């Protein structure tokens, strides 16, 4: 593995910089520093989604109490149909998963040898 040492930026070094990039941010010269920013991206995304979900704002809307009845009339048959389908196909689903796990175990055994 080639180790790239960070160095100072001089005036003559070519720098890829977007015309829209904010001033005051230095370009990233070290690839490991860039990867560190990529590792933080999922955490930042989760934090942003949590902030969006948990910051309550008033809706200023009225939901009719009978709307829950409509939702239950739609969801109940769908859940019953899904449960019946899983019950009807459970042996085939089990056989498929067991074959998949056997195949994965065989591949793991071959890689260890």
Please tell me the predicted confidence (pLDDT) of residue 21.
Answer: 55
Given phi > 0 = left and psi -120 to 50 = alpha, else beta, which region is 3?
Answer: beta
Distance CA(17)–CA(23), nearest Å, equals 10
Whole-number Å distance between alpha carbons of 41 and 51: 15
Q: What is the pLDDT along the chain (113 residues), one digit of tens a residue?
A: 555 555 555 555 555 555 555 555 566 566 666 666 667 778 888 998 898 888 878 778 777 878 888 888 999 999 999 999 999 999 999 999 999 989 888 877 776 65
User: How many Cβ atoms are within 10 Å of 52's Cβ, its own excluded?
Assistant: 8
Q: Which residues contact 31 (CB under 8 A, 6 or more apart)?
A: 4
| Domain locations along the chain | 31-55+69-112
For residue 44, the model assigns a pLDDT of 85
Q: Please tell me the pTM assigned to this model.
A: 0.36
So what's the pLDDT on residue 84? 95
């Amino acid at each position: 593995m080639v180790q790239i040492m960070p160095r100072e930026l001089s005036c003559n070094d070519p720098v890829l910089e977007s015309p829209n990039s904010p001033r005051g941010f230095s370009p990233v010269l070290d690839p490991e520093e860039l990867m560190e920013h990529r590792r933080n991206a999922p955490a930042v995304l989760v934090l942003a989604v949590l902030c969006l979900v948990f910051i309550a704002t008033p809706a200023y809307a009225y939901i009719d109490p009978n709307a829950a009845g409509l939702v239950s009339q739609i969801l109940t048959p769908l859940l019953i149909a899904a449960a019946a389908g899983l019950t009807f196909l459970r042996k085939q689903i089990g056989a498929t998963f067991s074959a998949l796990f056997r195949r994965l175990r065989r591949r793991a055994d071959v890689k260890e040898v």
